Amino acid sequence: MLKFRWQLGTLLLAVFALASGARVGWAHPFHISMAEMEFNSETQRLEVSLKLHASDLENVLSAMAGKRIDVEKDPLNDLVEGYLNRRFVLTTQKLEDALSKTEAVDATEGLTSKAHFVGSELETTWVWLYFELELPQAMLDSSSNLYFVNAVLMERIKDQINTATVRVGTRRHAIKTTLKSPFQEFSVLWLKPQQVSSETPAP
């Protein structure tokens, strides 16, 4: 399903660039983002589809750019990549309790993923961001678990809840982050091909 959405989103980019959607500045009573993640063994990258409120994304990107950003009209590549590289990363560093404040989440060190923006898709008041996380080879070869930082929008929205689903073969692993816990442990096995036994099960 993730690969289908990934491919569909890429094909629809040109269509949505020409389409005029509804205004995305509407207020909303809840603040949540949803990510779907799956490791591509051919490209050795983690493919991500991230869904969040378009108005919230516009606000954080506008603050970064120092001018008003419209997610329908303005180029997002550099802005989104810069933002994700601080707020949506895999890292080998074990983050200390002091990093639970979003002001410090940006200061991750050690081996860290690098975001590559693919495109976006607007759905009325929501926006999908499609990107890949390039992982250092040493991270891929590691036998130790990693740490997943998902602190998008938390610098502006204190009750933000971010959810992510990692797909590994037929299995799914859910991760939730909040302002108090903006990072979680990420199993390195989720980046390995699923092992299939060739033995015939006993009757």
Strand partners, 36: 49, 165
Q: Is 19 among the domain residues? A: no
* Total number of domains constituting the chain: 1
163 Cα distance to chain centroid = 9
Judged against a pLDDT cut of 80, whether residue 83 lies above it is answered with: yes
**Average pLDDT score over residue span 164-184:** 93
Q: Is 24 among the domain residues? A: no
What is the pTM assigned to this prediction? 0.79
- pLDDT at position 99 is 52
Q: H helices then E strands: how many in the chain?
A: 5, 9
Judged against a pLDDT cut of 50, whether residue 35 lies above it is answered with: yes
Q: Is 203 among the domain residues? A: no
- Beta strand 88-91 with 45-53 is unpaired
Return the structure tokens found at 195: 């092992």
- Domain holding 128, by residue range, is 2-11+29-187
Spatial distance between the Cα atoms of 88 and 182, rounded to a whole number of angstroms: 10
Q: Is 181 among the domain residues? A: yes
- Tokens 């660039």 locate to 17
